[in-house]
Amino acid sequence: MDNKVKSQEERGSWGSSFGFIMAAAGSAVGLGNLWKFPYLAGKNGGAVFVVVYLLIVVLVGFTMMLGEMIIGRKTQLDPYGAYKKLNKNWGFLGSIGILTAFLILSYYSVVGGWVIKYIISTLSGSIATDKAAYFSGFIGASVEPLIYHGIFMLLTVAIVFKGISAGIEKASKVMMPALFVMLIIVAVRSITLDGASAGLSYYLKPDFSKFNARVLVDALGQVFFSLSLGMGALITYGSYLKGDENLEKNALIIPGLDTAVALLAGFAVLPAVFAFGFEPGQGPGLMFITLPAVFEAMPLGTVFGVIFFVLVFFAALTSAISLLEVAVSYGIDQRKWSRNKAVTIFASLMFIIGIFASLSMGPMADFHIPLFNKGVFDTLDFFTSNILMPIGGFLMAIFIGYIWGVDEAVAEVRKSPGVSFKLEKFWTILIKYVVPVAIFIVLLSSLGLLDRFLGN
């Protein structure tokens, strides 16, 4: 009994429903919302992509998020322990989620370090005229990116060390509202620029002649990755919930908040990019090359540039703490480690892997991992985003729909006092039939197996 109490103390629990929602939204809101959504909207016809994206959030995002929270709260365990408790042969699926989160944070921390660097560089006005050369010169350096990678990882560790209520919840309750406020400020500035109307029109007026299979697949993939599905984060966060929490309501609110950030990011980025004549579908360079040029050309650009990169930093950090917590919960539940020991061991390993990911942008650029024929950073990104996450999400839908059983999942939602689960039939159809097919399409697309049909 003493060990059980001690383990529960190490695990912790959410202090409030608002705290959980902010933390879960923080897990979902990340760099993907702030650069990838505007870039994909820019590449895929603007408003038509937005319409398709919103539809898929309702169908896939809500369904998957509720499924992960159900498994977490039902078992009160890390992803491995959760699946194993529900079916002793399915612990492997939790292991996939833990491995995914572990590997993602290893290179995500490197990018988080880039964001810290850009806050400082924007504030000091030291970004060179040639933005592309400045960016490639920085990420290709041997030492400086590693220092920022270390700073970002230490900040993540400092929050997770303090546990659920005093660490993750407290930090999320500050960072998420601040992120919204800063994003609204930048969005208002962007849409009031001279020449912003072309960007607004592109973003808000759907031209359905631009709809094609690529728009659908890109929107499907973005919803899946944006909501942090298939990596055990929502199972882990769900495991700290008390039994009276309304899971159905939370599964609607959290994707809603994540989508609001993505849509606001579109307002912050696309009108400004159009106003200054840049290319809206530029890819990852949009954040570190195009936007610094936009802010430089904008009145009070330094102020808005700093605000923008601080909000990006908050988005990255709230995602990072959820990724680290996935591994930490496994250490506490399965290895019986103290929280401090689990955080120290996993964060140290992630930092070491991140060193190689960072160096693969410069000194180790010629080293390719044989099976993938990519550098360390790109291999980690491809393996997690294109293989592990879709497989994890697909198998979770199969597990709930056909192995553990929808009836068991529904019973867990109804367990909360006063919850009637109004969307039960809708959710049941989606988790059994729609979501597995949708994620299977994401997986095929991620592996390049649909390129012939998508006109690539």
Return the pLDDT at 39. 85
Is the predicted pLDDT of residue 66 greater than 90, yes or no?
yes
Token duo for residue 45: 């016809």
Is the predicted pLDDT of residue 392 greater than 60, yes or no?
yes
Residues β-bridged to residue 374: 369
Give me the mean pLDDT over the 173-181 stretch: 96
Following DSSP, what letter does each residue of 98-162 receive, concatenated?
HHHHHHHHHHHHHHHHHHHHHHHHHHHT---SSHHHHHHHHHT-SSHHHHHHHHHHHHHHHHHHT
Query: 23 by DSSP, 3-state: which?
Result: helix
Share of the chain above pLDDT 70, in %: 96
Asked if the 2-454 domain carries CATH number 1.20.1740.10, the reply is yes
Return mean pLDDT, the chain: 92
Confidence band, pLDDT 50/70/90 cuts, at residue 35: confident
Return the pLDDT at 1. 43
Of the two residues 227 and 4, the one the predictor is more confident about is: 227
pTM of the model: 0.94
* Contact assessment for residue 22 and residue 340, using Cβ atoms and an 8 Å cutoff: no
* Contact assessment for residue 311 and residue 336, using Cβ atoms and an 8 Å cutoff: no
